[in-house]
A and B are shown apart, each in its own frame.
Chain A
Amino acid sequence: MRQLPHMNELQEKYAGKGLHIFTIYAQNHPVEHIRSLVKDKGIKYPLALSWQDEDQRWDMSSLPAVWIIGTDGKIAFTGKGSYEKVLEEQLAKVKYPGLGGVNVTPELESAAKAFAARDYAQALRLAEAAAEKSDASDATLAAAEAISERVADRLKALKNRAEVAEVENAWRLAEATWQVIERRFAKTDEAAEAAARLQKIKENKKAQLEMEAETAIHVLDRDLQFKEAAIEEWIDSYKKFAEKYKESVWAEKVKPAIERMEEDKKAADEEKKKAQK
């Protein structure tokens, strides 16, 4: 587990330099255990607890497992052993984080740095200011336009994510996304809108219920996995959850899982009867 502080160190060392750390907690431990671990170790990077990998491309048969995805979107490293050299080689290719392919002229350096630091509002202000100068070259104008477009794209992607999340009752994601907009577009109309949306979510009892249900089912999931619960307990627990959160979309979402488990239990019981004859 000494890798955990090391990951924090990497995060700090390469902050704003084009490194994005994502992690997956790949063991069946309860959420509370993981949360305590995160707090004790001061983990600051994203941690996924539930994911889909139906084709099992990400080999997690042996932990820890590391992959580096390079600037070309291809796997640059996988497996065990030291990966820092590969990491540094890839990071050396990133001149302006988030702006791959943009020809940043000296006049747009500060805008590019603001973009790398995710201060998108500032990046936009600086890009527009550089473009407004009467002696701006064609290259500068092109770079300013490219940065402005990247900012607009980022905003569009975030707003789309937040709005779709609301429609789909994925309120944790919606709330977190509006918070990102509020933070990264500070002092703009976008931030004000995000603040208003966050207030609405806070006041929305249905949204609060959905967030509670989403967390509850994932906590339950992991608890049952951790204790290697028998299928009867799975079925019973899921049914109790569905009843408690019957006003939530999650009650419907777990129905197929309950049905499937009941079918499997029935099949297993029948097999057992046959074997006993």
Chain B
Amino acid sequence: MLRIALLAAALLMAGSAWAQSPLKTGDNAPDLNVSYWLDVPEFTSFSEVRGDVILLKAWGSN
């Protein structure tokens, strides 16, 4: 499902409180639910590599 296919929902959500609190150290990490990769990688979910170490980074270019 498109991130922006939920545009209307996102507009409704703007300014809303956290549904759950953001993840903190010690929390169980939920899997990442990706619907579109720039190029599809070999591993597409965290569950495929559990037991190893995952570094997740969110970034931009401004």
A residues apposed to B, CB below 8 Å: 1, 3-4, 7, 10, 18-27, 29, 31, 33-35, 37-38, 45-60, 63-71, 73-78, 83, 87, 90-91, 94, 97-101, 118, 157, 161, 172-173, 175-177, 180, 184, 214, 217-218, 221-222, 224-225, 234, 253-254, 256-257, 260-261, 263-264
Contacts and interface: CB of A to CB of B under 8 A. Distances in A.
A133 B32 CA distance: 42
Interface string B3-29: 111111101000000111111111111
A180 B23 CA distance: 32
Contacts of B32: 22, 24, 48, 51, 58
B58 A63 contact: yes
Given A38-B38, A51-B32, 5 more contacts: A22-B41, A26-B59, A48-B36, A177-B40, A261-B8
A232 to B, nearest CB: 13
B44 A173 contact: yes
Given A57-B30, A68-B55, A180-B42, A234 B37 contact: no
Contact of A257 (B6, B22, B39): B6
A107 to B, nearest CB: 22
A218 B61 contact: no
B37 A73 contact: no
A208 B22 CA distance: 39
Contacts of A76: 25
Contact of B52 (A7, A46, A74, A94): A94
A161 B41 CA distance: 13
Contacts of A217: 2
A68 B36 contact: no
Contact of A47 (B37, B44, B46, B51): B37
A110 B26 CA distance: 34
B18 A73 contact: no
A1 B62 CA distance: 8
Given A50-B2, A56-B18, A74 B56 contact: no
Contacts of A77: 25
A10 to B, nearest CB: 7
Contacts of A91: 53
A90 B58 CA distance: 20
A44 to B, nearest CB: 10
A23 B60 contact: no
A90 B20 contact: no
Contacts of A31: 38
B6 to A, nearest CB: 7
B49 to A, nearest CB: 5
